[in-house]
Amino acid sequence: MEIPESFDLAYALSDLTIKLFGVWILVEICHGALILFRCWRIGRKLRHLPSLPPSLLGPLEVMRDRTDRHRLYVEWAQKYGPIMTYRILTTHVVMVTDPVIAAEALRHKSLDKDLPQQFGSRALDEFSGPNAHKTILTLPTDERWKAVRKAVATAFSTSNMRANFPGIRKACNQLIEVLAEVGPSVAVDMDNATCRESLDVIGQVGFGRDMGATRSLLDDDEPGQAITATQAAQAECEAGLNDPLRRYKLWRPDVWAGRAATRRFHKVIARLMADIRRERPAEATFAAHLLDIIDPATGVTITDEFLKPEIALLFLAGFETTGHTASWTLYAVSQDADIEAKITKELASLGLLATHEQPQPRSIEWDDLSKLTYLNAVIKESMRKYPAGGVAPFRAPVKGAGDVVLGGGKLVIPEGAILHAPIAAIQLSPALWDNPEKFDPARWLQADAEYAPGAKLDGKGVKRFIPFGDGARNCVGQTLARLNLTTALAQLYGSFSFRLASEMGTAEEVRAAEQVNITLSCAKGMKMHAIPRVAPVKTT
C-alpha cells in the first residue's frame, strides 16, 4: 500500500512537535533545578543567621492572611533579632533592623533596586502600566532613573516649593470650607479628605492641573473615582506582592476584580497623560520636565509608553502617602487632649488659631512653618509610628558584583539574595526607642532624637528615623510631603478640633484595622467629626 505524501508530512510535523515539547520540558526542568540549586547555595551562606521556621512557601500564607504586613516585620525583628532571614519561594531575604547596617546597606553602591521578578517587583510595574515597564521607584540606578529623578527633583526645589506655597495653602482652605459646610454632626472620612487635599497639591506641583478633588469631597465625582480606582489597583498590587503565584490563579473572582481595578486606574492615567500632552503644564511642574526627557536607550524624547507608567507612579506616590500620614496624625491627636492643647497653644501664639476674640485666624505664611516646633514634632511622631512606606525598602546585590559585605564582615548579602530594611520595624523597635508604641511628640523636642543612641557609621551618627528611606533612592517628594503636612495640619487645627466617630470603635479596633496596601492606611478609613473652634468657620 502506498502511503500518501501528506501523511508523511503530518507525521513528521507531529514528531517534531513532540520532540520540541520534550526539549522545552527538559529546558524547564534544568532551569527549575538551577533555581533550586542557587536557592540551596544561598541558603547555605545564610544558615548561621536566625531564620523563620522552614516551610515550602515561606511566610506567604501568613502574609496573605494579615493586612498589617508592617507589624509582621516588627514582630519578626523582636523575635529573631536585628539581622534575620526569611525566604519567599526560592528567594532568600535578609531582614536588617540594625540601624548602622541598614544605613550602610541603603547607601551601598552594590545594593540596588534590581529585584527579581519572582519576588513580586513585577506587581508594582503592572500597577504602573499595562506594559509593566519599570519606573523611578523600581528601576535600577541607571541612566533612565537618573533622567526621571532629575526631572522630578527639579519640581521639588525649595524655591519652587516657596512659589507653590500659596496654592498648597489654598487647597487646604478648600478643605476647611467643605468641612465647615458639612458641620460637626456628620462624620467625614478624613483619610479620603486629606488624600483629596494631597491630590490637589500634587496636581498643582506635579501636573500643573486643578484636580478639583478637595472641593468635591461630598460628591461621587471624577477625582473621587480616580482616588478609588488608584486605591483598588493598589490593593491588587499588594495582593500580587504577597502572592507571586496570584497571576496564575485565574479561577478566583477576586483576581479578575483586581485586574479590572488596575485597568480602571490605567484609564485614569491615560486621561491625565492625554491632558498633559494636549496642554503642556507650567515649566515648574515635574510633568513639564518629564515630557522633555531624552530616553538614554533611544536618544530621542521619551515616548508615552514609558512616560505613562512614571506619571502613574508619581500620581500614586504624590497623594497617597501624604494623605494617609495626615489622617493618622488627626487620629493620634484625637486620642490625647493634652497633645491637641499644645498644638493649639502654639498656633495661638502665632495668631493662627480661631478664637472668640479672633474668629478669623491669620493666614499661615511660609515663615510660620519653621516656627511650628510642636506641630512639626507631632508630624514626625506620626511618621515614626505610622510610616506610610513602612514595609520598604528592599535592595539586591547588583549582578556580577558578587556578595556584598556589610558591617566590616558582620553580614554578607549573597548575590541572588535580597536585603530588606523595613522602616516600620526600625521605627517601632523597643531596642531603639523608649516605649515605641506610645504616641509621644515630646520625644522630638530632645536634641538628636532622630539618631540611634551611640550608633556611628564612618564616624557620623546614624538615623533611627527614616520615614523617607535613606541613600540615593530616598523619597524624592519628601520636601513637598513635609510642606503639605505642616501647612494643612496647622490650618486644620487652627479652625477645628477633630473627634473620632464612634463607628471607628476603640483604639484597639483602629490598631487592628491598620492595613498595608503598598502604603499604610486604616482599613476603616478615618471617620471624624470636625468641630469648629468658632462658628462659623471662615477661610482666608
Asked if residue 93 binds ligand HEM (CB under 6 A), the reply is: no
Contact track, ligand HEM, 414-433, x by CB under 6 A? ---------x----------
**Radius of gyration over alpha carbons of the chain, in Å?**
25
How far is residue 153 from each of residues 113, 128, 158, 183, measured CA to CA in Å? Answer: 19, 20, 10, 39
Binding piece for ligand HEM, criterion CB under 6 A, among 4-12, 119-127, 159-167, 381-389: 381-389
Among 389, 441, 525, 532, binds ligand HEM (CB under 6 A): 389
Binding piece for ligand HEM, criterion CB under 6 A, among 123-131, 343-351, 368-376, 385-393: 385-393
Asked if residue 136 binds ligand HEM (CB under 6 A), the reply is: yes
Asked if residue 480 binds ligand HEM (CB under 6 A), the reply is: yes
CA distance 308 to 275: 12
Binding piece for ligand HEM, criterion CB under 6 A, among 58-66, 259-267, 268-276, 310-318: 310-318
Binding piece for ligand HEM, criterion CB under 6 A, among 24-32, 83-91, 241-249, 468-476: 468-476
| Residue with grid cell 527639579, as numbered in its chain | 154
Quick one: cell of 53? 521556621
Residue 261, φ and ψ in degrees, nearest 5: -60, -40
Among 161, 392, 398, 522, binds ligand HEM (CB under 6 A): 392
Among 93, 475, 510, 537, binds ligand HEM (CB under 6 A): 475
Binding piece for ligand HEM, criterion CB under 6 A, among 264-272, 316-324, 331-339, 366-374: 316-324
CA distance 3 to 538: 95
Q: Are strands 519-522 and 514-517 parallel, antiparallel or unpaired?
A: antiparallel
Report, in Å, the least distance between residue 320 CB and ligand HEM.
8
CA distance 95 to 425: 10
CB 339 within 8 A of CB 379: no
Hey, which residues does 411 pair with through a beta bridge?
Answer: 406
| Residue with grid cell 492595613, as numbered in its chain | 515
CA distance 489 to 116: 40
CB 516 within 8 A of CB 390: yes
Three-class HEC string of 131-161? CCCCCCCCCCCCHHHHHHHHHHHHHCCHHHH
Three-class HEC string of 222-251? HHHHHHHHHHHHHHHHHHHHHCCCHHHCCC
Among 325, 327, 334, 497, binds ligand HEM (CB under 6 A): 325
**Minimal CA–CA distance to 161: which of 211, 215, 202, 212?**
202
CA distance 499 to 185: 11
Binding to ligand HEM (CB under 6 A): which residues in 444-463?
none
Asked if residue 467 binds ligand HEM (CB under 6 A), the reply is: yes
CA distance 280 to 367: 32
Asked if residue 137 binds ligand HEM (CB under 6 A), the reply is: yes
- DSSP assigned state of 429: -
CA distance 483 to 369: 8
Helix (H) or strand (E) holding 22: helix 5-46
Which amino acid is present at 129?
G
| Residue with grid cell 479672633, as numbered in its chain | 358
Among 237, 241, 388, 406, binds ligand HEM (CB under 6 A): 388
Report, in Å, the least distance between residue 416 CB and ligand HEM.
19
Residue number of the CB closest to ligand HEM reads 477
Asked if residue 469 binds ligand HEM (CB under 6 A), the reply is: yes
Report, in Å, the least distance between residue 137 CB and ligand HEM.
4
Which residues are CB-neighbours of 467 under 8 A, at least 6 positions away?
Answer: 383, 384, 387, 388, 389, 423, 427
Among 328, 433, 465, 468, binds ligand HEM (CB under 6 A): 468
CB-wise, 135 or 344, nearer to ligand HEM?
135
Asked if residue 107 binds ligand HEM (CB under 6 A), the reply is: no
Asked if residue 318 binds ligand HEM (CB under 6 A), the reply is: yes
Asked if residue 161 binds ligand HEM (CB under 6 A), the reply is: no
Binding piece for ligand HEM, criterion CB under 6 A, among 183-191, 359-367, 439-447, 472-480: 472-480
To the question of whether residue 172 is assigned a binding role by annotation, the answer is no
Report, in Å, the least distance between residue 107 CB and ligand HEM.
11
Binding piece for ligand HEM, criterion CB under 6 A, among 75-83, 163-171, 466-474, 523-531: 466-474
Q: Are strands 418-420 and 91-96 parallel, antiparallel or unpaired?
A: parallel
Asked if residue 146 binds ligand HEM (CB under 6 A), the reply is: no
Which amino acid is present at 383?
M
Asked if residue 321 binds ligand HEM (CB under 6 A), the reply is: yes
Please give the angle made by the CA atoms of 525, 424 and 65, to the nearest 5 degrees. 60
Among 268, 317, 347, 406, binds ligand HEM (CB under 6 A): 317
Contact track, ligand HEM, 115-134, x by CB under 6 A? --------------------
CB-wise, 120 or 393, nearer to ligand HEM?
393
CB-wise, 83 or 137, nearer to ligand HEM?
137
Report, in Å, the least distance between residue 70 CB and ligand HEM.
12
Site size toward ligand HEM (CB under 6 A) is 25
Report, in Å, the least distance between residue 36 CB and ligand HEM.
28
Binding to ligand HEM (CB under 6 A): which residues in 242-271?
none
Hey, which residues does 394 pair with through a beta bridge?
Answer: 420
**Minimal CA–CA distance to 92: which of 513, 392, 415, 335?**
415
Q: Which residues are annotated as a binding site for heme?
A: 475
Q: Which residues are annotated as a binding site?
A: 475
Interface with ligand HEM by CB under 6 A: which residues? 136-137, 149, 314, 317-318, 321-322, 325, 387-389, 392-393, 423, 467-469, 473-477, 480-481
